Structure formats: C-alpha cells, structure tokens
Amino acid sequence: MLPKVKLLERLVESGVIAVIRRIPEDRIEQVADSLVRGGVTALEITVDSESAYASIATLSSRYQGRAIVGAGTVIDSESAVMAIKSGADFIFSPSLHQGVIRAALRYGKIAVPGVMTPTEMITAVEWGADLVKLFPAAALGVQYLQDVKAPFPHIPIIPTGGIDEHNVAAFIEAGAAAVGIGGKLLNRRAIAAGDFAAVEQTARTIVDAVRRARVDCGKSA
C-alpha cells in the first residue's frame, strides 16, 4: 500500500482524473486499460455505477504501480467506507460532506469534496480535505478559478465538469492542480463500438495538453 504522500503525487501526476460513470461492466477493464495506456494515472469509479465496488476492487488490483483507483459521487460516509474497503485510494464528492472527509482520513485515503464558493473551500480544508473539487467547472469558468486561487494559493483545486481538450490548458494555466473529466474523455459511441483506440487517443491528447500547459506555466514563472 502506497503512503498517502505517494498517493497524492500519483493522483495529480498526469493532471487528469478520469471520471468513469456507468460504463457497461463487461467493457470497464478495456476502457480503463485504454485510459492508462493514454497516460491517465487516476481512475475514478462513480458509486452510482452498476457494480461500482466490484470494479474498484478489480481495477485497484489490476493497476498497482501504474495508476490509482478511487471512488466518485460519494455523498455519505457509509459509501466512502465501502469504497475504501474495496480498494479505493481516493474519495471524490460532488458536494461538501464532513462525514465523507472524516471517513477518508480515518483510513489514510485522499479526501476531495466538491465545492463552489470560497467559504466551502476554506471549510473543506478546515475539515481536513486534501484537495477540493471545483464543480461545475465549465459553468463557473476559468476566470473564477483564477480569482479564487488569488486568496487561496495553498488550496489544491481540481476543476471538474465540462472540461475537454479545448479548454483544459486554460484551467491548468489558471492554477488547477489537475482536472476531472468524464463524458468528454469517454466517448460512449466509441466504447459501444469497441473502438478503445479512440478512447486511448483522446486520453493521450488531453494528457499531452496538460503537460504542455504545465511546461508553459513553468516557463512563465
């Protein structure tokens, strides 16, 4: 089991957390394989998906050393504990729940609650969150992220919702630690057709865009 500091490094390593929601059970391993080949180092299985806990167990065992697996859409502590016992290394929520944060921290896992306002951000950190998920990111916009990073440069923020290859660089340049991407990363038509190469290519394109944006940020600094 990786120590938490290593889990945090792996979570943001590629800059992309893949949000895997309601993918057919018989295709989830092929989809996950494609994402990992494309450079994604963090796979989030939403607990509203069929057989979510079984998928977390399977994938967390499958990608040891290559990627970490966690749970998403977690809104109660019971679901958080079930996910962790299934092998989840991180817990994402769409909203702010103290019980979920406490459950993750109790087991030494990463807690990433969903927030929107500055008050929610600082409350999440005071409750022990490791990072925060800014949701819905596209609706709030890049400028919003940049504005809240000004008073909170110490809070790692992961924007999620509506991010794709066209706007991901802007979010990274505005200060995002990483981004969460679901539907824009997982083309359901391609998955239904068994075109996993397309999924891999999309992942690679977005991961490369993040890498370039990070390099540009370093140059501008």
The DSSP string of the chain is ---HHHHHHHHHHSSEEEEE-S--TTTHHHHHHHHHHTT--EEEEETTSTTHHHHHHHHHHHTTTT-EEEEES--SHHHHHHHHHHT-SEEE-SS--HHHHHHHHHTT-EEE-EE-SHHHHHHHHHTT-SSEEETTHHHH-HHHHHHHHTT-TTS-EEEBSS--TTTHHHHHHTT-S-EEESTTTS-HHHHHTT-HHHHHHHHHHHHHHHHHHHHHHHHH-
- Tell me what the mean pLDDT of segment 42-54 comes to: 95
Task: Single out the catalytic residue among 6, 13, 44, 50.
Answer: 44
Q: Does the pLDDT of residue 202 top 60, yes or no?
A: yes
Going by pLDDT thresholds of 50, 70 and 90, the confidence category of residue 221 is very low
User: Using one digit for the tens of pLDDT, what is the confidence trace for 124-165?
Assistant: 999 999 999 999 999 999 999 999 999 999 999 999 999 999
pLDDT of residue 217: 86
- Tell me what the mean pLDDT of segment 63-83 comes to: 96
Going by pLDDT thresholds of 50, 70 and 90, the confidence category of residue 32 is very high
Q: Does the pLDDT of residue 24 top 60, yes or no?
A: yes
Is 133 marked active-site? yes
Is this model's pTM higher than 0.85 or not? yes
- Tell me what the mean pLDDT of segment 8-13 comes to: 96
Task: Single out the catalytic residue among 109, 126, 133, 200.
Answer: 133
